[in-house]
A and B are shown apart, each in its own frame.
Chain A
């Protein structure tokens, strides 16, 4: 839960963002600041636009055909929609973790070293260091240090997901996007990932999409509630879950609809 990390610096500043899938307007005039070293959670019913929104932040959305956008997605002062954006560089800085751990069919070591290698780090010593540090950061080091050359797919689901977080961190991003990172995990693995998120926010800015609003309540500083492509309410998590401003937020989090 959000212990008051008072941040005033915005990593992302999204202004009046509209997004169409073909003719369908999927995001409607979204204004959304994201502050450094905070965990921002996005909740809302299926089809509300939360996954669409998070995919705009590293322009993964461009991989879907027929997507049009208008407005601004400012990342560190640069509008990703206007200027010629280096996607490789962007995705190095804005890492992403998905619903289910998706390690490459390689060794644990090679999974982590993959990103740094394609970005030019070749020396074994440097890679060793990055792999160790990334695995320590996700609290996986002690569990795997004796079998770094074992296949990553042999790890448990929770370990695979932590490995994927470590892999995303190996390129030293400053933002981590997480799309339902625990929906395929058991409760204890889920709590471990949540504890990890709380630790990682010291160094990273985290945006997490979750169907599990209790998870949003536990891990985030800010919570955003999306409904039918609109950002209904964005506020401190403590406020959203104890006295939301908008009746629709209240109805959703109390389970009255959705």
Chain B
């Protein structure tokens, strides 16, 4: 007879809910960038409307985690997995909020033509997507090698962020009348840079889960 089969099933359930939240945030981020690129205000509005779902999922994860701690007396890796799930849920939910912020900026830019192609922003998004996917895999598979790679990719996002902000500031000098759009694009860069930091946090949590020690991968 497998011992603590139900508890194990509930831990799996917790893990699956977290992956679901992760996929939700990935999707929201993708839609927000698509809305920006195609000036699709309806899509931007949809990203904002749907965000409630991420909040509810995070609450569900927290409630289940609390219930498991209250009723199952988890210890060792079980306990770390539950604590880490709460923290990762918070990081992922924050990423969904960044998607909402990007959608809001998209709406503020409105139909005004973009001052420059958003290649760098798309590139930052693309790396974010790969990082988050991989961080979720690392969590799902207790794989610290994958988690480490996530942290390394964050450096690329930081570099792109530096370059893009520099370019935008230059554009601002050339076209001071476009300051409103340039500000919004700078915000979007900042949101993507922050999203990558939160994904790096997830990678750190995976280290803690597997090794039981804290690592700072963000520095």
Across chains A and B, the number of contacting residue pairs, with CB separation under 8 Å, is: 40
Interface segment among A72-80, A108-116, A237-245: the answer is: A237-245
Contacts of A237 in B (CB 8 A): 71
The size of the chain A interface, using a CB distance under 8 A, is 16
Cβ of A188 under 8 Å from chain B: yes
Check A1–B7 contact: CB distance below 8 A.
yes
Q: On chain B, which size bracket covers the interface?
A: 10 to 19
CA gap between A196 and B6 in the complex, in Å: 11
Q: Specify the chain A residue showing the minimal Cβ separation from B5.
A: A195
* Given known A1-B6, A198-B6, A242-B66, contact A139–B1 (CB-CB < 8 A): yes
Interface of chain B: mostly helix, strand, loop or mixed: helix
A3 CB–B CB distance under 8 Å? yes
Of the candidates B1, B67, B72, the one whose C-beta lies within 8 Å of that of A192 is B1
Question: How many whole Å from B4's CB to the nearest CB in chain A?
Answer: 6
Q: Is A214 an interface residue (CB 8 A)?
A: yes
Minimum CB–CB distance for B11 against chain A, Å? 12
**Residues of chain A within 8 A of B7, CB atoms compared:** 1, 218
> Any chain B CB within 8 A of the CB of A191?
yes
Does B76 make an interface contact (CB < 8 A)? Answer: no
Report the Cα distance A238→B68, complex, angstroms: 9
**A residues with CB within 8 A of B:** 1, 3, 139, 188, 191-192, 195-196, 198, 214, 217-218, 237-238, 241-242
Residues of B within 8 A of A (CB): 1-7, 10, 66-68, 70-73
A–B complex contacts, Cβ < 8 Å, 17 sampled:
A1-B7, A1-B71, A188-B3, A191-B3, A192-B1, A192-B3, A195-B1, A195-B4, A195-B5, A195-B6, A196-B1, A217-B71, A217-B73, A218-B73, A238-B70, A242-B67, A242-B70
